[in-house]
Structure 1
Amino acid sequence: MSGLLSKATAAEDTTETNPVEEEPKEAAGLLAAIEESNDKPEMSTILTSVGWAVIIVGGLLSLQGGSWGLIVVLCVLVIGIGALYAGQNMSEDGIDPVRMGGAAVLAVLLAAGPYGVSMFMPDSGSFGISDLELKEDSDEISFRVIGSANSVDAVITADGVEKWSQTKELSSESARFTVPISEIFVGNAWQCTASSCPTIPAIEYLISVSSGDTTQTIDINPEFMTREVLDSGVKITPVTKTETTGQDTTTEIDGIRVEMMAGLLPTSHTHQDGGGHTDANGIWIEGDYTLEMVIKRGNTVVYGESSSQGCASESSGFPYIEVSGTVATSCRGDSTVSVNGWFAMPGPATDDVGSKYLNLDSFFDEDDCYAFQVTITNTLSSGDELVLVQDDVAWDLDFESNKEGPWAMNTC
Structure 2
Amino acid sequence: MPAILPDGDPVPDDGALPGAALVGLGTRPFAFYVHVPFCVTRCGYCDFNTYTAAELGPGASRAEYADTAIEEVRLARRVLGDAELPVRTVFFGGGTPTLLPPGDLGRILAAIEAEFGLAPGAEVTTEANPESVDRRYLDGLRAAGLTRISYGMQSAREHVLATLDRTHTPGRVPQVVEWTRAAGFEHVNLDLIYGTPGEDEDDWRASLEAALAAGPDHVSAYALIVEEGTRLAARVRRGELAPPDDDAMADRYLLAEELLAAHGLHWYEISNWAAAPDARCRHNLLYWTGADWWGVGPGAHGHVGGTRWWNVKHPAAYATRLAEGRSPAHAREVLTEDDRRVERVMLELRLATGCPLALVDGPAARRAVAGGLLEPGAYENGRAVLTLRGRLLADAVVRDLLWPEG
> If the TM-score is normalised by the length of the shorter chain, which range does it land in?
under 0.3
What's the TM-score once normalised by structure 2's chain length?
0.20
Which structure has the greater CA radius of gyration?
1
Q: Greater relative contact order: 1 or 2 (C-alpha under 8 angstroms, separation 6 or more)? A: 2
Please state which structure has a larger fraction of its residues in helix. Answer: 2
TM-score normalised over the length of structure 1: 0.19
